[in-house]
Amino acid sequence: MNDSMSIPHLIMSASTVVQLVMLILVIGSILSWVVIFQRTFVMRRARAAHQTFEERFWSGVDLNELYRETPSEQETQGAEHVFRAGFREFNRLMAKTKSADAILDGVQRSMRVAWSREEERLTMHLVFLATVASASPYIGLFGTVWGIMGSFQSLSMAQQATLATVAPWIAEALIATAMGLFAAIPAVIFYNRLSSESDRLLGKYEDFAEEFHSILHRNLQGRSETGAA
Amino acid sequence: MARRQRGPARRNDKPVGYGVPALLAIGLHVLVVILSVITLPQRQPVESDSSSIVQATLVSTETTTDQAQRAEEARARAAARQAEEEARQEEEARQAEEQARAEAERQAAEEQARQAEQEQAAREEEAHRREAREAAEAEAQRRAEEADRLARQREEQEAERQRQQEAAAEAERQRQQEAQRRAEEEARRQQEAEEQRQREAEEQRRREEEAQRQREAEEQRRREEEAQRQREAEEQRRREEEAQRQREAEEQRRREEEAQRQREAEEQRRREEEARRAAEAASQGLDRAIEGESDAVANARQAQEAANSFINLVRRAVEQAWVIPPGASSGLSATVQVQLGPSGELFGATISQSSGDNSFDRSAIQAVEAAAPFNELRQLPPAAQRDFRQFNLRFTPGDVR
């Protein structure tokens, strides 16, 4: 009994459709866990990077120096990316126009682009998690229904309908649902967690962008006043 | 992977690749699969065990509490039997009384009927007799007339001679009349004698019948008394035998217990001695002692396992045969005492603790009867067989499937 009712044996003896469903669910579960781990690492690293960058930014260092510290071909992330995009645009526009409003508009636009790139980077693959979370219970349910259909078909062939003839079929069919839930539950939990974390990070980037914008604005204001005088 | 290789390593800026997360995810799944494969087979027997609906508890025949209980039961049974016996006797006495009364009534009725018949017969006889008398008188008259006519003819024919012989004829006639009267008298006397005789015979018969009845009643009473005495003697003897049997059983049990205790003590002493010897002797002696010990333990465990398997088997068989009545609520519980023969055949199944629901009790008894015989009893070790000749089965619907 133990041998015939063990889970590997049940999976091996399942019908092709149910096996296919199980395969899909296993792949979905593995991929969702890959996403979960990868996103977790990305979030942790982004949080650490943001903290170090903010410390450095507010330490009173010269902005030109900070800008020059990282080579332009180096891909930067987070608030640093926003800062670089905004400062580069500021420097380029300063050489071409005297209008403070035009400069600030350009800086804001370029910072918004950088912010939206960051958003895309942070929320990448989270949609996949959401898909797995919502779809895998249904896929598992489909496998179960299919397996139970098969069990009743075999029951109609049997001479004697005992619990022992139906039980293995139902057990193997229920494995599909179990696997669907197994894939869905972590996906739901981590989707919520990761999306809230990315929202929080993006909020911080936005705050930083506003602060940087106000610094540039102050700078331009002072410059225009000295120019006028 | 591609992104990690593209960017040069610097501080925190190295992008997070997919290799490590993939490894972690696959490792997690493998771990889950291994856990499910390893732990599930161990858990399964426990799960299947919990689905049992009949709990069989062994009632050992050796415990003292059970002895008391059984003595109590025996006393209760004896009292019940005695009460039953008394009730039956009373019933019998009442029946006999009623029978006697009915008999007497019937006899009286018969008597009356007979008397009425006799009277009828007497009346009829009277009527006959009257008719006969009348007939005789008529005859006599006719004859007298005939004689008259003859006499007149003769008178006419031989008037002279007749006249001469008139005196003779007269005498003759007188003699005839006399004779006739005498005959009549005679007849009447005979009839009277007849009647008298009949009455006497009647009387005699009645007396005889009376005597017969009395004798019969007497006989009946004596027989009843005899039966009563016999029954009492029987009862007395049975009680004595019962008591004797109980005493013997008690004695036997005590002896067995004594023997068991002695054996155990013996065993204990022997083991202790062995252990001591082993301790004193070289390490191989110790090893041998341990081996013997473990053998004994293994034997005991084997017997225990056999007993357990038997109980499980009985339980499963009874469970399968049990048809739970549809109206039974899950709170019901009945205990059935099962007595088995030496080869596992069912001697008796009685409700020792009723559930209060008759149909439920009946279904439990029927389940035991349907599951019998339990031939597996013979496969048990002889010592365990005795223990399992009597055990209790508790029926609770529990988790009915």
Tell me the per-residue pLDDT of B302-332, one tens digit each, with 9 for 90 and over. 777 777 777 777 777 887 778 777 777 767 7
Q: Which candidate, B323, B374, B378, places its Cα nearest to that of B391?
A: B374
Position B145 confidence tier, pLDDT thresholds 50, 70, 90:
confident
Question: CB–CB of A74 and B25 under 8 A?
Answer: no
Residues of B in contact with A34 (CB under 8 A): 18, 21-22, 24-25
Contact B44/A at CB under 8 A: yes
Per-residue pLDDT, averaged over B117-134, amounts to 81
Contact B381/A at CB under 8 A: no
Give B292→chain A minimum CA distance, Å: 35
Q: Which helix (H) or strand (E) holds B32?
A: helix B19-49
The confidence score (pLDDT) of residue B401 equals 40
The confidence score (pLDDT) of residue B48 equals 42
Residues of A in contact with B29 (CB under 8 A): 26, 29-30, 33
Question: Which of B22, B37, B44 is facing A34, going by the closest CB pair?
Answer: B22
- Kindly give, in sequence order, each residue whose CB lies less than 8 Å from that of residue B392, ignoring residues fewer than 6 positions away: B56, B57, B58, B59, B335, B336, B337, B338, B352
Six-digit token pair at A163?
């619990």
Per-residue pLDDT, averaged over B362-367, amounts to 83
Tell me the per-residue pLDDT of A29-88, one tens digit each, with 9 for 90 and over. 999 999 999 999 999 999 998 999 999 888 888 888 888 887 665 677 888 889 989 998
Contact B40/A at CB under 8 A: yes
Please state which of the ranges B163-167, B171-175, B235-239, B243-247 shows the lowest mean pLDDT.
B163-167
Per-residue pLDDT, averaged over B158-176, amounts to 77
Work out whether the CA dihedral A46, A48, A49, A50 comes out positive or negative: positive
The confidence score (pLDDT) of residue A72 equals 64
A-to-B residue pairs, Cβ atoms closer than 8 angstroms: 58
Position A225 confidence tier, pLDDT thresholds 50, 70, 90:
low
Cα–Cα distance between A74 and B256 in angstroms, integer?
A: 97
Cα–Cα distance between A66 and B166 in angstroms, integer?
A: 207
Q: Which candidate, A53, A209, A121, A66, places its Cα nearest to that of B11?
A: A53
Q: Which candidate, A184, A187, A152, A186, places its Cα nearest to that of A166?
A: A152
Per-residue pLDDT, averaged over A94-123, amounts to 90
Question: Which of A6, A42, A76 is facing B40, going by the closest CB pair?
Answer: A6
Residue of A nearest to B17 (CA): A38
Reported pTM? 0.44
Which of B6, B11, B16, B319 is best to mutate for the A interface (most A CBs within 10 A)? B16
Contact B24/A at CB under 8 A: yes
B153 pLDDT above the threshold of 60 = yes
Per-residue pLDDT, averaged over B357-361, amounts to 81
Per-residue pLDDT, averaged over A136-144, amounts to 94
Question: Which of B24, B25, B37 is facing A6, going by the closest CB pair?
Answer: B37
Position B7 confidence tier, pLDDT thresholds 50, 70, 90:
very low
Question: CB–CB of A41 and B44 under 8 A?
Answer: no
Residues of B in contact with A2 (CB under 8 A): 41, 44
User: Is A167 or B200 the better-scoring residue by pLDDT?
Assistant: B200
Question: Which of B12, B15, B25 is facing A30, going by the closest CB pair?
Answer: B25
When mean pLDDT is compared over A139-143, B125-129, B347-351, the highest value belongs to A139-143
The confidence score (pLDDT) of residue A132 equals 94
Question: CB–CB of B37 and A5 under 8 A?
Answer: no
The confidence score (pLDDT) of residue A210 equals 93
